[in-house]
Chain A
């Protein structure tokens, strides 16, 4: 397993999932690395999904 690891904050997750210029900017920094998110980000993603409905 690669040694490189990155914990992503919520906005970076949404940028990457949305695609577009911000995703392009962050992509080289996460490519090939072990990615993780914190529990609070999971909660914030749920918050965003709830607000959408």
Chain B
């Protein structure tokens, strides 16, 4: 290993960086996003249909793309970082998954910044969103990010630019069919196999039902309880014009608006006791910030179904069917 010529070099240009100097917040944000992009590329390459599907993480991919920061130097006036893989021994030439991931992730990054709509090998919507997250640095004083992968005699280079970032955002949004934007606190996600959905509660107005697909699952999960901007294809009530649902194309966390609609967040002080302890009802109420019901009528009319929907009968049937089958005494 040549310390001055590491496997991966990343150069940041822009007024936010100085010669050999980069804000820690920028670095953390970028590395987190790049790691996500690499990992998701690995999952696509190893046959995952959608890179962001939840499940036990494939340890080998994480190991394959794990990097050590070896070098922080300057190009004038840029900051240049150098990385080496943590894995000291690689697989047989041509069968090195880690190198393939780096190669496809970076060559793909060049492709997705161009006008072509097809996705390169190793890419899906989840990978695009990870690079999109990395690209938010372009609004924070970074003007260009250069990558050099020294994996072969002829290195692979890739440049990430603000124009390319815009193109990636356009790809994520997809065709412009009644595209609308909703901002609010993301709550109540449902990850059932049939129909993944969540709700966004704006600071003012009714919550909006949002639909998403498997490739967006991790992004939604990471943003639960946070204030977000959702862009997607909206369905509207023809009479009121109100958005009845929105199919998510893009979801982005709005860090600077975390204070809004904070009353929607779960309140109370969690109990720090053993599972087998039995807290009193009062202790539970305090932990969940539940107070005596001052206006019981506030509950009236909050049932989401019909008055005569058979719910009580169904519960009665559910409870007693076990008795008839002899399952319970």
Residues of A within 8 A of B (CB): 1-2, 4-5, 7, 10-11, 14-20, 23, 27, 30-36, 44, 47-49, 51-53
Contact = CB atoms under 8 A, between A and B. Distances in A.
A48 B307 CA distance: 13
A43 to B, nearest CB: 10
A36 B292 contact: no
B285 A36 contact: yes
A30 B290 CA distance: 14
B314 interface: yes
Contacts of B293: 30-35
A11 B303 contact: no
A16 B307 CA distance: 11
Given A44-B318, A48-B314, 15 more contacts: A1-B291, A5-B281, A10-B312, A11-B316, A14-B303, A15-B312, A16-B299, A17-B303, A18-B301, A18-B303, A20-B307, A23-B299, A30-B293, A32-B294, A34-B291
Contacts of B296: 16, 27, 30-31
Given A14-B311, A34-B281, A48-B311, A19 B292 contact: no
B3 interface: no
A30 B296 CA distance: 7
Nearest to B285: A34
Contacts of A15: 312
9 contacts: A14-B312, A19-B300, A20-B307, A23-B299, A31-B293, A32-B293, A34-B282, A34-B290, A48-B314
A23 B316 CA distance: 19
A23 B311 contact: no
Closest CB pairs A-B (n = 8): A19-B300, A17-B303, A18-B303, A2-B292, A11-B312, A16-B299, A48-B311, A34-B292
Contact of A52 (B294, B295, B301, B305): B305
B309 interface: yes
Interface size class of B (residues with CB under 8 A): 20 to 34
Contacts of A35: 290, 292-293
A27 B195 CA distance: 36
Contacts of A30: 293, 296
Given A1-B285, A11-B312, A11-B315, A17 B291 contact: no
Contacts of B301: 17-19
B304 interface: yes
B325 interface: no
A1 to B, nearest CB: 6
Contacts of B282: 1, 5, 34
A20 to B, nearest CB: 6
B318 A16 contact: no
B292 A32 contact: yes
A47 B294 contact: no
A27 B281 contact: no
Interface in B250-291: 281-282, 284-286, 290-291
A49 to B, nearest CB: 7
Given A18-B303, A19-B301, A33 B309 contact: no
A47 B291 contact: no
Given A1-B285, A18-B307, A20-B307, A33 B300 contact: no
